[in-house]
Structure 1
């Protein structure tokens, strides 16, 4: 059986629709898990800025996201990069609040991962961060805990990385693993007051998706 560690402070007052966040470092398998969940026509909404989850009218979000990861790490100031990434954050919030808000939702990373990447890009603090933190709080975070070394293998030794997933001009294992450790530290700092279920890396995609499904079924019952 897949080992699931549960860290459960008092459930937060979400101030919005019922939802959980699926979070983890780069290469953790969130996109794969969401794809498997969608195959089963789940009773929950699945919200992500990945192209496969965007509506046709939201295609601009995907185009902007690709431009950001292609050029943003070097071409722009950290503050401008944060402004560009905010479009994805606000898009997720809008879909959470406006698209059938009575129906529970699973949100891919929410603002936690993008805020961490902005900080790693050099933004120590920004008024937008306080705004993001004022968004509705999830009732649980499901964290896919994957070691940097394992994630390096999953990204085909750096061939699948973008510029916001590693330190240095070009991806190498040391720059990737250090970046992922720092990224995880910041994300954990952001979710420290939330109930968290941690799912380890030792099992395959199908088992991971099944454990996520069990947590969501329990959370939204």
Structure 2
């Protein structure tokens, strides 16, 4: 199994942009995400997963059903690690850490999946993108693009979003406190951010 890294951060911190840029560069780091635009081959079958998760949670589906969908996301990320080609270093979008913390914050903290997620292989390191909640709020279109798994309560206002993101950040850093964590500050230039991520992984 290949060594791998995790790209972590709160919602709208820029992970998708970093991973898309890495994919375009076609270098030794292999960007791994279940964002629909980054899925290839038979993995395209899960392209609707992010939207389906939001609908299932907002629609009051059972905890077992919502968490089973979340496990599909984790299983996909793990599969990309164990099937990574030689000479490529997978950089995973959040791995199970973000899902695990969100489950805790949103009351989805029971069932068989949590112990399984924690039993999965550990990354060589974590790159944490630091973005203030106010910046993330603007990137979300002032709440227009939020899904129900990105804020507290039924209404995605700035306060509900900010409180959730602050708790999410604290939970993420707690989950990876025993790993090597390298912090990358927010930067307006995505190229500079990606360069920083690559330097961090190389060092």
Shared fold (TM-score, shorter chain, > 0.5): yes
Cα shift at 1:100: 1.8
Q: Which runs of 5+ in 2 are unaligned?
A: none
TM-score normalised according to structure 1 size: 0.85
For residues 86 and 7 of structure 2, the distance between their equivalents in structure 1, rounded to whole angstroms, comes to: 18
Correspondent of 1:100 among 85, 93, 112: 85
CA shift at 1:131, angstroms? 1.1
Equivalenced residue count is 203
Q: Aligned residue for 2:5?
A: 20
Q: Is the 8 A contact 2:6 2:125 kept in 1?
A: yes
Q: Give distance in 1, aligned partners of 2:141 and 2:187.
A: 18
Determine if the alignment matches structure 1 residue 45 to structure 2 residue 30. Answer: yes
Find the aligned partners of 1:207 and 1:102 in 2 and give their Cα distance.
Answer: 24
For residue 28 of structure 2, give the secondary structure of its aligned residue in structure 1.
coil
Instruction: Quote the offset at 1:69 in angstroms.
Output: 1.3
Say whether the 8 Å CA contact 1:78–1:118 is kept in structure 2: no
**Aligned pair 1:211/2:189, yes or no?**
no
Shift of 1:101: 5.6
Q: What do residues 8-51 of structure 1 show as CA deviations (whole Å, max 9, x unaligned)?
A: xxxxxxxx421110010001000001111222211122111011
CA distance in 2, matches of 1:193, 1:151: 27
Q: Conserved in 2, the CA contact under 8 Å of 1:45 and 1:103?
A: yes
Aligned residue for 2:139? Answer: 154
Question: What secondary structure sits across from 1:36 in the alignment?
Answer: helix
For residues 202 and 65 of structure 1, the distance between their equivalents in structure 2, rounded to whole angstroms, comes to 26
Out of 76-85 and 159-168, give the one that drifted further.
76-85
TM norm structure 2? 0.93
- Of the candidates 57, 66, 69, which is equivalent to residue 84 of structure 1? 69
Matches of 1:208 and 1:179, distance apart in 2: 25
SS of the residue aligned with 1:165? coil
Moved over 6 A (4+): none
Residue segments in structure 1 that go unaligned for 5+ positions in a row? 1-15
Q: Is the 8 A contact 1:143 1:197 kept in 2?
A: yes
Question: 1:178 and 1:126 mapped to 2: Cα distance?
Answer: 26
Q: What's the CA shift for 1:206?
A: 2.1
- Name the residue aligned to 1:70: 55
